[in-house]
Structure 1
Amino acid sequence: MTAYVPLNERALEAFDALAAGGVEAVTHRASPFLALYRTERERSGLLAELQAIRDSGQSEVVFGQLTGEQARALEPVLTDRVGAGVQLYGQRYLHPPEFVGALAASVRARGGEVLEGSGVRSVRETPQGVVLDLGDRERRHDAVIVATGAWSERLTRRFGVREPVQAGRGYSFSVPVERMPGGPLYFPQQRVAVTPLGDRLRVAGMMEFRRPDAPLDARRIDAVVDAVRPFLAGVDLDDRQDEWVGSRPVTGDGLPLIGRTSSERVFVAGGHGMWGIALGPVTGMLLAEAVLKGETPEVLRPFDPLR
């Protein structure tokens, strides 16, 4: 957690910098952001974790304890099965598909090119630059950043990256609601989070370690539904759309891979686990500095891909 301190301190302002630079996607302030439990005893683990995070130097982590009644007053979608809560302050959330689309639009607006549907078979270094094999053609670049998530190991191992990256797969779907929550709701004991996503509620959970390309397992969706159903009212968990499984890139030591490989022209950005959305923009800003200046910022030292 100490290694994450300087990244977390700049994480939200990095979203603001992107917005100021033309990325037309909104980050919403979470009012409120609640972690919810059946009993006060259940929440003791999270309270201990939050205090440990503060003790590591992340003083911006601000939270307060709620009774079940207080939590339900803040969020009427909660049932009386909620007996205790923790409110976290200063948090935000976003609409992931809209955000990614806005990033791509910003790249194109600046004269950049986005190749969709093009898989990279290999990356190799030559005296003339870094060559990407796209199967039907090759492209040569001065520098390359491999940011292919749970698939990164295949492209980076030849450049000295030995830390394994596994797929920690999460499942999600969206459902209609009678009343949209004011912000994200997290059920730590059930490992399920729900977040407003347009006019529907996104429900997500699970950490399944399998091949990143393995098909969706419908039993996992059922498990998420069963876990969260007792806590939500006016939410139609049987009218599911957008059932999906995504592969979070997870490293063995819990730290991402950010920085230069054994090649001065090949860089890595990935392995953030469940924090890819939150730390993506600040990762990009710091890594851009490393690529352009040829020097790795000190705050990235703990995330050295060659460790």
Structure 2
Amino acid sequence: MHVVVLGAGLLGVTSAYFLRQLGHEVTVIDRQATPAAETSYANGGQISVSHAEPWANPSAPLKVLKWLAKEDAPLLFRLRADARQWAWVFRFLRECTPGRTRHNIEQIVRLGTYSRETLQQLRREIGLEYDQRTQGILHFYTNPKEFDAAEAPAAQMRELGCDRRVISADEAVRIEPALAHIRPQLAGATFTAEDESGDANRFVHELSQRCEADGVTFLMSHTVTALREVGGRIDHVEVTDPNGRYQRLRGEAYVLAMGSLSPLYVKPLGIDLPIYPAKGYSVTMPVKDATKAHQVSLTDDEYKLVFSRLGDRLRIAGTAELNGYDRDLNRVRCEAIVRRVEELFPGAGDTDRAQFWTGLRPATPSNLPIVGRSRLPNLFLNTGHGTLGWTHACGSGKSVARIASGLKPEVDFAFAT
């Protein structure tokens, strides 16, 4: 059948690839001129199954209150007269119970492990290169209370098959010698050897080229304006082409992979997606002194930052700001990231040549993505991945392709129905 995929980011392109592998005719539509030009452009670079503890956990409400007045807080709620934001916040608070947190960790680990395996298999089969590193991910802690609090989630992850080991500060420095500078401040760490990192933007470009070679059509610089329902099914998609001309595009099935914009497109169809944009930041800078720069991908849990080595570049990303669809760069938050990099790895990166970026992550209150069938039988969803779009992309793309094909997904996950 002919499947129209809305969105050419990580989730859209992986969906298109696996749909084509199952024999479907596939058309991908995106408003940007090139794939992965928005939220997938400059993310943190981690394939982090171990990053499975959701924002919504028992300690979150107190932290959020403490951070409300801090412009450089890791998670900043910039409260607005926005009913969607307030509804999201109330749902977020409901997810902060111990029981919901355990359930959500379980789902995130299952999908993450499957997705990482799917990525590894894909890499072996078609030989993709995207500055990948398979040296694991090290979570380090400079706050003893944060380190103590990490032990229970790490134990649950190990029970679920994600081998996130709790290690000493000395062992952390042995794994990543660049941490020696802050050894006196380290309380401890966790290490997941199976986790990876890589350039998500480069991955999408490589995979989209493979898709095109396999017959997938990409309609870039085409802006989706509406999804139209007739008789309980999506009948067509309305778009404007690069010259502003109106078009109707039809398929037999549709996959919605438009990130934080997704709920806006399906609300007129009576579908309520609990997704709100969480503005994330990243800094990319050239390596200045390789002897001081990290090799292993890192997570600074206290500051909610991730560090990846992408060839001769350092990518540092994190923080989240709930401020509607605002995309403006907040210099205070950018400078806070650079300041933390210099505290941890002074002289490692060329801060004078730092490039700043911001993107809107499609966040759900639970941190669980929305993958599966909508209430309309020919509309499928692959959205709401928040900070874990790169981690969950291949598993979500393969799963939604199987669901759209009438096949059972290969992973036990709470798929949308």
TM range (shorter): 0.7 to 0.9
User: What do the CA deviations read for 1:135-157 (whole angstroms, capped 9, x no partner)?
Assistant: 22221111110100011001122
1:65 is the counterpart of 2:171: no
Distance 1:198 1:214 in 2: 28
Structure 1 residue 212: deviation in Å?
2.9
User: What do the CA deviations read for 1:104-148 (whole angstroms, capped 9, x no partner)?
Assistant: 111101011112222211111347963111122221111110100
Distance 1:43 1:129 in 2: 49
Structure 1 residue 237: deviation in Å?
5.7
Is residue 183–residue 196 contact of structure 1 (8 Å, CA) maintained in 2?
yes
Aligned to 1:270: 383
Instruction: Out of 140-149 and 20-29, give the one that drifted further.
Output: 20-29
- The 1:41/1:93 distance shift into structure 2, 3 A limit, reads same
Aligned to 2:253: 143
Equivalent residues in 2 for 1:241-280, closer than 5 Å? 241-280=354-393
Aligned to 1:34: 138
1:75 to 172, 176, 179: 176
**Aligned pairs, how many?**
301
- The 1:53/1:102 distance shift into structure 2, 3 A limit, reads same
Structure 1 residue 27: deviation in Å?
7.1
Is residue 30–residue 182 contact of structure 1 (8 Å, CA) maintained in 2?
no
Aligned to 1:19: 123
2:396 to 273, 283, 307: 283
Task: Supply the AA of the counterpart residue of 2:332.
Answer: R
Aligned to 1:164: 274
Is residue 249–residue 272 contact of structure 1 (8 Å, CA) maintained in 2?
yes
1:103 is the counterpart of 2:216: no
- The 1:35/1:5 distance shift into structure 2, 3 A limit, reads closer
User: What do the CA deviations read for 1:262-295 (whole angstroms, capped 9, x no partner)?
Assistant: 21111110111111111111111111111112x6
Aligned to 2:322: 209
Structure 1 residue 252: deviation in Å?
2.2
Distance 1:140 1:72 in 2: 56
Task: Supply the AA of the counterpart residue of 1:280.
Answer: A
Match of 2:249, SS state, is strand
TM-score by length of 1: 0.88
Distance 1:215 1:237 in 2: 24
Aligned to 2:223: 119
Distance 1:210 1:303 in 2: 28
Distance 2:248 2:220 in 1: 15
- The 1:44/1:240 distance shift into structure 2, 3 A limit, reads farther
- The 1:169/1:237 distance shift into structure 2, 3 A limit, reads farther
Distance 1:101 1:122 in 2: 26
- The 1:60/1:253 distance shift into structure 2, 3 A limit, reads closer
Distance 2:127 2:261 in 1: 27
1:219 to 317, 325, 332: 332
2:239 to 115, 121, 134: 134
In the alignment, structure 1 segments of 5+ residues that lack a partner are: none
TM-score by length of 2: 0.66
Equivalent residues in 2 for 1:83-102, closer than 5 Å? 83=186, 84-102=188-206
- The 1:161/1:300 distance shift into structure 2, 3 A limit, reads farther
Percent identity of paired positions between Structure 1 and Structure 2: 25
Match of 1:185, SS state, is strand
Instruction: Out of 178-187 and 97-106, give the one that drifted further.
Output: 178-187
Is residue 216–residue 245 contact of structure 1 (8 Å, CA) maintained in 2?
yes
Match of 2:273, SS state, is coil
